[in-house]
Structure 1
């Protein structure tokens, strides 16, 4: 798979020509086979002829703008190869962003300095700033299902619960228990319980009200295998138990936990019964499982070698080979029984919208472009209409739903 990058201001270039601000202008497009490979560089000339914007290139490269509501979808053709592109709606500069979460109204950001910020998507202003929320990087942020409370996870190994509804600088709860970096979070039900995975090899089950550790899951044959990612799904009935094992558990009965390890193993556990199951998924031995999501009856896993596998129980339904670099983030954008649209980050400069048709075994890829050069995603979030992708210099915004539920000002 090729890495395609486009000058981050190319939409502005097109707009300037379209508005008559300039008669003609140009922007660059590059292609390379890997992060280390030498890039091919092409210049696209933009001019207006008979009230139509025209794109030309002396090397035969074809660039097409599709008519659409937001006019940010394009096709690039280089020789016999064609690539679908979608440009960002906007780029917002923020310093040292490491983690993101979003609602339809707010974007929450965590920084390298341990600060978290709440940004109002409608007013486009920071409405809350908590400095020193953590003693080091805020690695993860999640919004509870109520949309009123967030969980922040720091490199200081602390997890903190905060209200989004007030200006308090004090967390409602502080939880500790892992001995190495926390890599993943998964809420159960309404969020009274949640799971965290860590490089210490444990997946911990927490109860929010008391802030207590309920149970710690470890793989029996290797207690220290680092955990990179987790996902949960419904277990098929009959369940091992019908009532929780403790009075600190809510909605854990009938939940299956998938744990992705550095060793390349995906191990299954019964959350409610506090037990390891027989199901174990291995495709690339020794290649890390780096990200996972659930879509209907499918488990979708990203790997350190750039492969994206769709599992149905213990069968691989489709194997999508992307750029040979770590798939760091996965998010489900849309899904039906047999199809799924995913946001995927795959090494430097690659943010992808991947459409997988599981029934027909096919996939198509749209490159998400219009972000700064040498872009490496630190976090992603999706609020039902817009995708937010951060690197350490700011946040890019992409509209992916046909009808946006958030404010139009998100994309200004």
Structure 2
């Protein structure tokens, strides 16, 4: 596949030309093939006004014929004709950018509150910053929230409490008020290796943490107790890389493990991704490994659930969408057997893992999905899935050699964090 990068100031150049500040200005566009990452083609587009309208014309230094058309303020269509034919690329620029101006640290993760009012940013120095999304102003900072990188942040459904996970192997609960507080309400520390994922159940009385030492822990928030531990039966030490929650049939009271320490867990299913390439399903309330299992020969790097679909990203750049509509706590499959299920594959850049993603149902569609997916340096994609086929567009306009560290969404807004900026598409 091709990766397109465009001069970061492209939209600013267009604005200056349209306002009359400058007559014309060349901008660069680069294209490289994932089969040959070491080399790229450099093109020139001249931005000017012709006959009263914006004109984007090919510069003299371009190796092949290139055309670019503006569809709206943030979407462009680019066409390149080379010896292999005609290639059409849909390109989306961010609608807004937030430059944090961090001098001694980098962004390591971010989260947005469910009510959309707060943006939380974790850094590789262990700090957590809180921003007002309406004004983009910094409301405060928690210094040394963790002893090392803040690896995960999430806000509970009430938008009044947040949780953070650090590479110091601690998970912390924080009140989320007008300004940050310096001390957590509770600290959860039980796992002995890197905490690879965090998942909130229902309103947050229970939550799950996953670890590279092979375990997933189910916690009760108010007591700080571990209710259950989940490990894959045929390999207790298979490192857990990611997880996702889904809904199934409720577990009866007599088969529930955890009693009074479970809240909103009775119908929850847990999909856990492993370094071995296995995705295993568990019953949360029943505390058992079900017969649902999927496997590929590459490490699972990402799991998301939306409607009847399980989205799995892998270390070899494959995005697989499983139909899990019939995969609800099946017990007829023997342990160790893979489950038969319909799936659809999209091979992206095979040199890098699928790292981050968001997913929503497409409007007016029973089977369609809209995804934003990151897949290595300088590759951020919008993926439209109609239930059978994929269509990809590239999200561009970020700084050169960007690397996505986190994503979040609120309504139809998608927030993407690199190591030094946060943008909204």
Q: Structure 1 length normalisation: TM-score?
A: 0.92
Is 1:113–2:125 an aligned residue pair? yes
Q: Choose from 112, 115, 122 the match for 1:102.
A: 112
Deviations 1:216-262 (A, max 9, x none): 10001111111111011112467685756321111111211100001
Q: Select 1:382's aligned residue among 395, 402, 409.
A: 409
What is the CA–CA distance in structure 1 between the aligned matches of 2:131 and 2:31, rounded to whole Å? 35
Query: Is 1:355 matched with 2:365?
Result: no
Q: Against the structure 1 CA distance between its residues 166 and 173, is the aligned structure 2 distance closer, same or farther, given a 3 Å change threshold?
A: farther
When the two chains are superposed, the root-mean-square deviation of aligned CA atoms in Å is: 1.6
Paired residue for 1:365, among 392, 409, 415? 392
CA distance in 2, matches of 1:312, 1:369: 30
> How do 1:389-400 residues align onto structure 2 when only pairs under 5 Å count?
389-398=416-425
Kept in 2, the 8 Å contact 1:240–1:273? The answer is: no
Partner of 1:88: 94
Q: Deviations over 1:367-398 (max 9, x none)?
A: 11110000011111112232221122222222
**Cα deviation code 1:168-198 (max 9, x no counterpart):** 2111111011111111111111111011111
Aligned mate of 1:78, from 60, 66, 80 = 80
How far apart are residue 92 of structure 1 and its match?
A: 2.3
Mark the CA change 1:30 to 1:223 in structure 2 (over 3 Å): closer, same or farther: same
Q: Which residue of 1 aligns with 2:54?
A: 53
Q: Whole-Å Cα distance in 1 between the matches of residues 203 and 251 of structure 2?
A: 23
Q: Deviations over 1:277-330 (max 9, x none)?
A: 111101x22x11100111111111111111111111341331111111200112
Q: Counterparts of 2:131 and 2:304 in 1: how far apart (Å)?
A: 27
Q: Do the aligned residues in 1 keep the contact of 2:251 with 2:286 (CA within 8 Å)? A: no
Q: Tell me, yes or no, if structure 1 residue 64 matches structure 2 residue 64.
A: no
SS in 2 for 1:150: strand
Mapped pair 1:341 → 2:390:
no
Is it true that 1:199 corresponds to 2:212 in the alignment?
yes
CA contact (8 A) 1:138 1:152 kept: yes
SS at 1:13 equivalent:
helix
Structure 1 residue aligned with 2:266: 253
User: Normalised by the size of structure 2, how large is the TM-score?
Assistant: 0.89
Could you tell me which residue of structure 1 aligns to residue 292 of structure 2? 279
Question: Could you tell me which residue of structure 2 aligns to residue 409 of structure 1?
Answer: none
Consecutive unaligned residues of structure 2, counting only runs of 5 or more, are: 325-339
**What is the Cα deviation at residue 337 of structure 1?**
2.5
CA contact (8 A) 2:250 2:268 kept: no
d(CA) in 2 for partners of 1:81, 1:316: 31
Instruction: Choose 90-99 or 121-130, whichever is displaced more.
Output: 90-99
CA distance in 2, matches of 1:323, 1:108: 30
